[in-house]
Amino acid sequence: MDFDVVIIGGGLVGASLAAALKHTDLRLALVESSEPAASYEPGWDNRIYAISPGNADFLRECGAWQHLDMARVQPVTDMRVFGDTGAELDFNSFEIGTPALTYILENARLQHALWQTLQQQDNLTLFTRSRCSQLDWPDDQVRITLEDGRLINAKLLVGADGRDSWVRQQAGIHAQPVAYQQDGVVANFRTGKPHLDTAYQWFQQDGILALLPLPQQMVSMVWSVSPEKSAQLLSMDAEVLGAEVSAASHHLLGDFEQVTPAAAFPLRLMRLEHVIAERLVLIGDAAHNVHPLAGQGVNLGFRDARSLAKILAGRGPLQDCGDMRLLRRHERARREDMLSMQIATDTLKKLFNNHHPLLRRVRNSGLSLTNRIAPLRKMLATHALN
């Protein structure tokens, strides 16, 4: 079975790349170890993403955004960021001339919308419930051996298989993730007071608390805390956890009623010297990991897919899609965005996770000063719209 592009990993980023290439002449294959659900549970998903307006447009071009139930998509028009001594930084979508700063939606529903699009795509072959066992590079292609013995040949292999990428390991791309010694604890809550389409974030001495607005007067919590604090939060019953989150957010949204079970995942930073190799490119979490404090992890991944799709669609009619010149162009195009986001989130995390009195004054003064300089505040907000 011969293809131009084979994508391993059918999560949000891998699926979006396949959908973005639907109008090209490329022969595509997508290998996914699970069987995508025919539908989704009516309840709420505790895996929530903040999708930038630029990526919402990208998903609309892919055909996925149109499959979403807009009643479950929450636009964010305001963002309030608090330091640990009362300093505050505010962003407003109307100030920068856009309907929303970001859109909050559930992973399961977005995944389902993307797969609805893929199942109608003529130039795509889906290999679901399929796992890879071996990669080889014979002559001018990559050969993928599946566990059931089938062989797939590709001119270009795309690894979109997550933070512990099997493709990255098989290609010999060395990764040394740096553990943050923090977990991201997530859960959804119904609040006693309306959130007014506002996202909130508190930089605290013992972690970073974010509350993202959801429809039906609900919020999604992402609380970055030490493993010890994470274990405490996960052990609490619903009423106690709700009270804990309400207190940590200074009761700004009133009482909290837990809607979904709490879950936790370890946080880390991962930078790769190169995200390309011979006839291979890594995208999404396979290529980079960042701290979730800016909510930009999946947005970086979608921008990877946007860049690669644009380069592949615009290649010359006789140009091999695995040509290293194309891959280098993609790597150069993505380097600044990936590096700047990694540096920014890593610096903020370290700056606020420090108890030195001088640093405490500096970081809170910086927040207050930025809030008073409208052009700087606008520049920061505009960058996140891409």
Per-residue pLDDT for 275 more than 60? yes
Per-residue pLDDT for 203 more than 90? no
Q: Tokens 């170890």 map to which residue?
A: 33
Confidence of residue 242 (pLDDT cuts 50, 70, 90): very high
What pLDDT score does 369 carry?
A: 54
What pLDDT score does 90 carry?
A: 87
Per-residue pLDDT for 372 more than 60? no
Task: Over range 180-185, report the average pLDDT.
Answer: 94
Lowest-confidence pick of 150-164, 166-180, 286-300: 286-300
What pLDDT score does 299 carry?
A: 94
Structure-block tokens of residue 329: 């162009």
Radius of gyration of the CA atoms of the chain, in A: 21
Task: Over range 25-34, report the average pLDDT.
Answer: 96
Residue ranges, comma separated, of all CATH 3.50.50.60 domains in the chain are 2-43+107-177+270-350
Neighbours of 301 (CB within 10 A): 24
**Global pTM?**
0.92
Structure-block tokens of residue 309: 């799709």
Task: Over range 141-152, report the average pLDDT.
Answer: 97
Per-residue pLDDT for 332 more than 50? yes
Q: Which residues contact 174 (CB under 8 A, 6 or more apart)?
A: 272, 273
The rounded distance, in Å, linking the Cα atoms of 384 and 93 is 11
What pLDDT score does 64 carry?
A: 97
Q: Which CATH code fits 178-267?
A: 3.30.9.10
Residue ranges, comma separated, of all CATH 3.30.9.10 domains in the chain are 178-267
Per-residue pLDDT for 97 more than 80? yes
Q: Distance of alpha carbon 39 from its chain centroid, rounded?
A: 22
- Span 2-43+107-177+270-350 CATH architecture: 3-Layer(bba) Sandwich (3.50)
Per-residue pLDDT for 298 more than 90? yes
pLDDT tens column, 98-107 = 999 999 999 9
SS3 state of residue 271 = coil
Percentage above 90 pLDDT, the chain: 76
The rounded distance, in Å, linking the Cα atoms of 97 and 240 is 41
What pLDDT score does 206 carry?
A: 79
The rounded distance, in Å, linking the Cα atoms of 260 and 267 is 21
What pLDDT score does 149 carry?
A: 96
Confidence of residue 376 (pLDDT cuts 50, 70, 90): very low
Per-residue pLDDT for 366 more than 70? no
What is the identity of the amino acid at 338? M
74 or 83, greater pLDDT: 74
Average per-residue pLDDT for the chain: 90
Task: Over range 170-180, report the average pLDDT.
Answer: 94
Task: Over range 191-200, report the average pLDDT.
Answer: 98
Task: Over range 129-139, report the average pLDDT.
Answer: 95
**Residue 224, phi then psi, degrees to nearest 5:** -90, 110
Structure-block tokens of residue 251: 């009761």
